[in-house]
Structure 1
Amino acid sequence: MLRWVNPDNRRYYQADLVKDLFGDWTLVKVWGSLDSHRGNQKICLVSGKEKGLAEIQKLMKERECRGYRMIQKTAET
């Protein structure tokens, strides 16, 4: 799991690449405010682990361009 925080606007973004019960790779994206329990999530099916890792690399660049800093990195990603 990867987690980014933007201290300026008090927002977070998180991404996790996981295998579902059917053996398919999914990219789980979660985002919201650090000040409330409200947020949203999106689960995207990816064609394989390599494709999912490439999507995460793209997310990293986008988050950094928007002022987010990575605060947590765990597991295989």
Structure 2
Amino acid sequence: MLRWVNPDNRRYYQVDLVKDLLGDWTVVKAWGSLDSHRGNQKICLVSGKEDGLSEIQGLIKERLWRGYVLQSSK
């Protein structure tokens, strides 16, 4: 799991690549405010592990471009 925080607007964004119960690869994205319990998540089905890793690489570039700082990586 990767988690970023934007200190300017107090927002977080996290992403994880997981297999679901049926064995399909999914990218789980979650985002929200650090100041409240409100947020949202989206689960995207990908065609395989490599496709999911490729999508996460794109998200890494986008988060850094938007001013987010990597907080943790598990």
- Same structural fold, with TM-score higher than 0.5 when normalized by the shorter chain: yes
Displacement of 1:18: 0.2
Question: 1:2 aligns to what?
Answer: 2
Letter paired with 2:33: S
Separation in 2 of the partners of 1:64 and 1:13?
Answer: 11
Q: Any residues of structure 2 matched to 1:30-41 within 5 Å, and which?
A: 30-41=30-41
Alpha-carbon offset, residue 61 of structure 1: 0.2
Runs of 4+ in 1 over 6 A off after TM superposition: none
Whether 2:34 is the aligned partner of 1:52: answer: no
User: CA shift at 1:48, angstroms?
Assistant: 0.2
**3-state DSSP class of the match of 2:72?**
strand
Q: Which amino acid letter does the alignment assign opposite residue 28 of structure 2?
A: V
Cα distance, 1:12 vs structure 2? 0.2
Correspondences of 1:3-22 after superposition (within 5 Å): 3-22=3-22
Measured in 2, the distance between the counterparts of 1:57 and 1:71 equals: 16
Partners in 1 of 2:56 and 2:69 — Cα distance?
A: 14
TM-score norm. by structure 2 comes to 0.99
CA deviation after TM superposition for structure 1 residue 53, in Å = 0.3
Report the secondary structure of 2:50's partner residue. helix
Tell me the CA shift for residue 41 of structure 1: 0.3
Q: Does 1:67 align with 2:67?
A: yes
Mark the runs of 5 or more structure 2 residues left unpaired by the alignment: none
Paired residues in the alignment total 74
